Amino acid sequence: MKKIQNIIKKLYWLGLIGVIGTVFHVTYLKLFYLFFLLVFVDICISLGYRMKYGKMNEYVADLKFLWQNIMILIGNICIYIRHGFHLPNVQTYSPKVSCHLPFQGKWMVVNGGTDQQHSHSWGLAMQRYAYDFYRIENGKSYQGNGLNVCDYYCYDQPVLAVADGIVIEIKNKFEDTKVTGKSEVLCNASDVRGNYIVMQHAPYVFSMIAHLKKDSFCVKVNDKVTAGQIIARCGNSGNSSEPHIHFQIQEGKNFYFSASLPVYFDEIINHINRNDMHHIKEGDIVENR
């Protein structure tokens, strides 16, 4: 049943094709809106499963997680419409803030870039220019069998502010997601981001760093921070298969309704691509100067 539910969760994203049909007046594409009805199938399956096994707390968490996916769908549509289906890119967007990397030492860019090929999630406007980072030693991200979060080299490592700014929002309620060593996610949090922090660095420039370790925050809301300041510790909370840092710059403080922005890095060393010291992509090994 869980496998069927996971397939359903992926299929209802096809409803976004209906938006294209509406914009370009293509009738048959509007039929894809019907895929959004699978949301209610998902709810019914979750409710039946939880009622059968008596795990109502997990059911409530599932509903929150489902609601977040719905908000992502709605937010994605709104962002595209607000930007006239022309989202910011490295050619059109003039960065207002130069960023440092949110960690100490050498880390690998696991996911992310400024083009469609390397993008974290090209179709999701709120995560198009996001990055995932973790540490690699001897070709691996962990020691031992990788079945404990403490096996991972980046776990509990300091997380840094990427620029001067002020803390806008903190969520600190989720335990680490269990790891299996098989790149699968056993998320028990109701928020894909897990524990996270949002900071404002300039008008319409906010950073969001996610999957942080619970109770590791060194700052609080309304605190002023400086670039390079330790703000928390790397964890594995939320929708995460192994400990890593998720980082993005976005145009507003609201995750669902804010387009992500291309990140302009400054004062960093790229050990793989030395020709562009301001933009990074998947596979690069990077560190702050």
Q: Which one is predicted more confidently, 137 or 8?
A: 137
- pLDDT of 180: 83
Average pLDDT, integer, range 44-64: 57
Q: What percent of the chain has pLDDT over 70?
A: 88
Check if the beta carbon of residue 217 is closer than 8 Å to that of residue 232.
Answer: yes
- pLDDT of 56: 43
Q: Which one is predicted more confidently, 114 or 4?
A: 114
* Integer CA distances (angstroms), 185 to 6, 50, 56, 193, 243, in order: 12, 20, 21, 13, 11
Beta strand residue intervals within the chain, DSSP E: 107-111, 131-134, 158-160, 165-171, 195-202, 205-212, 224-225, 230-233, 245-250, 260-261, 268-270, 285-288
Average pLDDT, integer, range 215-243: 97
Q: What is the mean pLDDT of the chain?
A: 88
Q: How many CB atoms lie within 10 A of CB 287?
A: 14
Average pLDDT, integer, range 82-103: 95
Q: Is the pLDDT of residue 115 over 70?
A: yes
Spell out the residues 6+ positions from residue 72 whose beta carbon is closer than 8 angstroms to its own.
124, 126, 256
Q: Is the pLDDT of residue 52 over 80?
A: no
- pLDDT of 38: 77
SS3 for 158? strand
CA atoms within 13 A on the CB side of 158: 14
SS3 for 265? strand
In the structure encoding, which two tokens stand for residue 35, read together? 């895929």
Which of the listed ranges 4-8, 66-70, 78-82, 251-255 does the model predict with the highest average pLDDT?
251-255
Dist CA 184 CA 247 (whole Å): 20
- pLDDT of 63: 65
Check if the beta carbon of residue 173 is closer than 8 Å to that of residue 238.
Answer: no
pLDDT in tens, 156-203: 999 999 999 999 999 999 999 999 877 777 777 889 999 999 999 999
Q: Which one is predicted more confidently, 61 or 175?
A: 175
Average pLDDT, integer, range 218-243: 97
In the structure encoding, which two tokens stand for residue 273, read together? 């691509």
Average pLDDT, integer, range 237-258: 96
- pLDDT of 23: 65
Dist CA 154 CA 159 (whole Å): 10
Average pLDDT, integer, range 57-75: 72
Q: Which one is predicted more confidently, 46 or 148?
A: 148
Reported pTM: 0.81
Dist CA 289 CA 286 (whole Å): 10
Q: Is the pLDDT of residue 95 over 60?
A: yes
Q: Is the pLDDT of residue 89 over 60?
A: yes
Residue pointed to by tokens 């330790």: 230
Q: Which one is predicted more confidently, 284 or 276?
A: 284
Average pLDDT, integer, range 35-63: 62
